[in-house]
Structure 1
Amino acid sequence: MSEAPTQAARHLAVVGGGWAGLAAAMAAHDRGWAVHLFEAAPQLGGRARTLPGPAALAGLDNGQHILIGAYAQSLRLMRQVGVDPEQALLRLPLTLRFPDGGGLQLPRWPAPFDAAAGILGARGWSWRDRFSLLAATLRWQIAGFRCAPDASVLALCQGIRPRVMAELIEPLCVSALNTPVDQSSGEVFLRVLRDSLAGGPGASHLLLPRTDLRALWPEPAAQYLRRQGHSVQTGQRVHGLRRDTKGRWQLEFVTELEAPTAFDQVILACPPGEAARLLTQASGLAGDEPARLAAWATQAQALRFEAITTVYAQADAKAGAVPDPLRLPHPLLTLRCGPEAPAQFVFDRGQLGGPAGLLAFVLSASPDLSREALTQQVLAQGRQALAPLGLSALHPLGTVIEKRATFACTPGLQRPAQRLIPGLWACGDYVEGPYPATLEGAVLSAQAVVAALG
């Protein structure tokens, strides 16, 4: 374990307390930096957080996040701060079952035999369906899970039959890249498949949080950092950046707070819009640095974002005089979606440590409709899809719309660079890297930046 920072240690400012910011702070601790993390919101976690306040949704999450067994660094960081992934996460083989029992479920076998067995045993698929997917999978493996940078997932999947596209490829793509198949990067999709379905033992397993997102890692990470002598402050928005005559960075805050007067390095782990604001207003620059920062900000602001909507509802099952909570056959079910049935997944929170009968319907790449319209469409979809499982009533509890949940992972997308100018860096799931907007992508981005600090 690294020692607590000394007075002679170099000082690093991390702006943002999501998974990227906290991962950067952890990596910097391991390398002997004195870390000072500032988060503008009252809680940590960024776009993977627990909702605060006394409202009906308090204690629930802003969305449903799935980790997979291939997220090696995220799992390592959990263990480092004292979180046992085997207790905090429910581990399941990759399962994309529908309420009617159709779909895919991989056995607990070593790769690639688990994928082959899952495909051959998929319920409701014809042999032509199965062989079309096996042929495509073999083609991707022969190509080393590589394709042209401008290829979409739809182009990549030519020859795969419509049922397989609807019941496997589209749900996988929208859950991993949060972008429709005709607009998603085939290159990134293949990278995800390579590291999961073709990864090591358990790489393709789904890891579903059994606790709220705050307790899963952000709060334990903050507590760990504070115990090691670092500073983690919430409710502190950085108002501006200024480089002094000695080349060190000074942060300006809306309110006075106790912090070093200058920092050797600054990592912007905040959303791209906030990073762009800070860069375009930075002072103390020289030469072509203002133009370089302006170009980075323009590139970051040009990213297109997709929304994720989560509709929470209480489900009752058909019973006697008093309704019983509904229990789904799996903690996660895939839903058949369409123009007026927008949810792709439903989570049974009662099987994940929550109240019995609490369901969370998830709309990746959510349509641009009002909260009320989305809620009504999802409730109607849920009542129809879950009726064969014994659903008698579905009561809405609340709807959370994360409007800028992920960037659109499109073919050939040029993402902003990690290195900005000397002493100034950016990290996050949207920064250059091989992965889509995932928790592991954010963690890997942060670790790469800290490794480059020197």
Structure 2
Amino acid sequence: MPAQPFGLRVAVVGGGWAGLAAGVRACEAGHRVQLFDMASQLGGRARSLPPDDAGLRLDNGQHILIGAYRRSLALMLQLGVAPEAALLRLPLRLRYPQHEGLRLPPGAAMPAFVRGVLACQRWSWRARLGLLSAATGWMLRGFRCAPELSVAQLCRGLPQQIKDELIDPLCVAALNTPAAQASASVFLRVLHDALFSGPGSSDLLLPRRPLSELLAEPAQTWLQTHGAELRLGHRVQSLVPGAKGGWLVEGAAFDRVILACSAAEAARLTAPLAPGWSAQVAALKYEPIITVYLQHPGPAWPSPMLALQEGPQAPAQFAFDLGQLCAEAAGRSAWVISGAAPWVERGLEAAAEAVRRQAQRELDWAQPPELIRVLAEKRATFACSPGLQRPPAAIAPGLWAAGDYVAGPYPATLEGAVLAGEFAAANL
């Protein structure tokens, strides 16, 4: 039903997952919403590209969700997307091309973790017991540690095999930051919520459909149905206080404003209004992600998602057999380089060629795979470093920020974006 006329007039600047979550919650509360986005389509850094010559839509990067993303899943369901149909749910499994890694059985979180670790015959008994001892210590300390610790420092007592085959892959997947530079306190929060917060929390949820169909496109339909006005392809240039309170966005009066745009855009718009907040946002550093899409000649893989051993000539840490997720994508795969700054410097052509060789070598293909496309999101996530002070959501009276970079429990994830959007909307 359309928004009620007595609600506040709210501007949401930015149409990524944070902005969409904020817009939906604001409409739901009876406010009148106008959403601006500088792109011609919604979704931000989690969207699909236009169809290719074969009619298939690649995503602007391979994304996954986990069972602990409860707000994201609830929002999808509200928008008419059935998560059980749109996502392939698998128990956490770090399957490497040539061997099995950690694999968690179903069941209550803590017993499942213990059983999974003890059953991992790839690791020595010393390594398995060392991991369980460390995890017990983290649990007894409430999954908290000194804010200045890095993940590498937190885990320095663990056997090298555990660090190579579990800690490093999980760290770069969750924080998009190498363990030596990643915040241990944020990593522990992610481990707590993913591995120890309830049955199914650690499950991997792999998209069966183009990413835009999971949230952006259903949200666009929902918002329009509920009376929101969408202005796509419009970069907001003017944000100033109103003469009688509220805010003027592009000269139009609003009672409240939610900045759900990128951190760089939020810093630009707030520089004359809240210079301290703007400077804190502008100081954030970023980590890129490269996704290499290949057409591969081999048969189906042992698992839809493979973990990979990173090395000087092996840049990808994870690979996805897209044909196991969607029949129309048979033979296609996505290879992900997280924390990809060194490979961005070397160039996308060099990164793609290194991944092609890595893929052929890892999966023992007789012929090299064909490169379909290589994509780089140079500001994919903020660098989640130890002691990082992230900016607060509140900027000024009636002006809020919503994005995965604002202060919160998670690193730059889809769930972090949704939580930030809902938090800003709840404070209108």
TM-score bracket, normalised by the shorter chain, equals over 0.9
Q: Deviations over 1:61-108 (max 9, x none)?
A: 011111000111000001101100000000000011100023111112
Deviation at 1:186, TM superposition (A): 0.7
Counting aligned pairs with the same residue, the percent is: 52
- In 2, are the aligned partners of 1:104 and 1:123 still within 8 Å (CA)? no
The equivalent residue for 1:99 is 97
Q: Secondary structure at the match of 1:24?
A: helix
* TM-aligned CA deviation for residue 409 of structure 1: 0.5
- Preserved CA contact (<8 Å) 2:288 2:381: yes
- Structure 1 residues 170-209: aligned runs within 5 Å: 170-209=168-207
Matching residue's letter, 1:163: Q
Task: For 1:39-438, list aligned pairs within 5 A.
Answer: 39-52=37-50, 59-252=57-250, 261-281=252-272, 290=273, 293-317=274-298, 326-353=299-326, 354-366=328-340, 367=342, 368-387=345-364, 392-438=367-413
- Offset at residue 54 of structure 1 (A): 5.1
The separation in 1 between residues aligned to 2:312 and 2:405, in whole angstroms, is: 29
Q: Alpha-carbon deviations, 1:220-255, whole Å to 9, x = none?
A: 0111111111122311211111222111212228xx
Over 3 Å counting, the alpha-carbon distance change for 1:425 and 1:56 in structure 2 is farther
Distance 1:30 1:200 in 2: 29
Distance 2:5 2:69 in 1: 35
Deviations, residues 148-179 of structure 1 (Å, cap 9, x unaligned): 11111111112211111011000000000000
SS of residue in 2 equivalent to 1:4: coil
| Of 428-437 and 22-31, the range deviating more from structure 2 | 22-31
Q: Is the 8 A contact 2:10 2:32 kept in 1?
A: yes
Match of 1:360, SS?
Answer: strand
Deviations 1:117-168 (A, max 9, x none): 1111114211111111111111111111111111111111122111110110
| Aligned residues of 2:61 and 2:290 also touching (Cα < 8 A) | yes
Q: Residues 82 and 391 (structure 1 numbering): CA distance in 2 closer, same or farther, change over 3 Å?
A: farther
Q: Which runs of 4+ in 1 moved over 6 A?
A: 55-58
TM-score normalised by length of structure 2:
0.96
Q: Distance in 2 between matches of 1:216 and 1:400?
A: 20
The count of aligned residue pairs is 424
| Superposition deviation, residue 269 in structure 1 | 0.3
Change (3 A) 1:37 1:240: same
| Contact 1:56 1:398 (C-alpha < 8 Å) held by counterparts | no
Alpha-carbon distance in 2 for matches of 1:386, 1:98: 10
Counterparts of 1:444 and 1:264, CA distance in 2: 22
Contact 1:57–1:398, Cα closer than 8 Å, also in 2: no
Query: Could you tell me how far apart the structure 1 residues matched to 2:305 and 2:6 are?
Result: 50
| C-alpha distance in structure 2 between counterparts of 1:57 and 1:337, whole Å | 33
Give the Cα separation in 2 of the matches to 1:273 and 1:56: 35
Provide the secondary structure at the position in 2 that maps to 1:401: strand
- Give 1:448 deviation, angstroms: 1.4
Instruction: Provide the residue aligned with 2:416 in structure 1.
Output: 441
Structure 1: runs of 5 or more not aligned: 254-260, 282-289, 318-325
Q: Which residue of 2 aligns with 1:24?
A: 22
